[in-house]
Amino acid sequence: MMTGFFYGQTHGLFLPDFPDPTSARGGVTGKSIIDVYDQYDFLQIWEDIREQVGEEEVFLIIDNAKTHLPFRRWLRGRGVTLLEIPAYLPDLNPIEDVWSLVKDKLHKHYPELHLIKGPVNEVKKVIEEAITDCWELLDPKVFDTLAGSMVDRVKAIIKADGWYTKY
């Protein structure tokens, strides 16, 4: 699993999100998400962003997936303003569009990636590097366009009464 964020025309941070070895099913948990964001000094990056934009309101869009609950508490406790959206509502979460673009680039630039074999850790490393490369290949204007689409996204969802939209 990967996690990431962007702001304006800046790629932001794109990170591998490792499973929590202490979890019952060995999957990604709120703790493992916090650990990776802490490891990459997210709070300092957040403060740098707030400094750059000055008086403009800055918030982190995060869905209400169950694994995000401890992460949301952690963020709030450190002064990060959140815009919480329902889980499984990709129309309100522009990062979902980014994942789609990254996936398209993966298919284009790494068409044989699905055939890779070897030790699990080595395979994961190759996949993470490919995904990160595709993230960095994205045109910065994409991020600005997606961030600027939020008002239209909300209007479209209201108009569609919660049903499907073009987003």
In the three-class reduction of DSSP (H, G, I as helix; E, B as strand; rest coil), residue 152 is classed as helix
Q: Where are the alpha helices (DSSP H) in 10-139?
A: 30-39, 42-53, 69-77, 95-109, 120-137
Both tokens assigned to 19: 């499973």
What is the distance between the alpha carbons of residues 141 and 37, in angstroms, rounded to a whole number?
25
Average pLDDT for 44-71: 86
Answer yes or no: are the C-beta atoms of 166 and 156 closer than 8 Å: yes
pLDDT at 23: 85
103-151 pLDDT, tens digit per residue, is 999 999 999 999 999 998 899 889 989 998 999 999 989 988 988 888 8
Average pLDDT for 40-67: 86
CA dist list (Å): 131 to 2, 44, 123, 159: 9, 24, 12, 35
Domains in the chain: ranges and CATH: 2-159 (3.30.420)
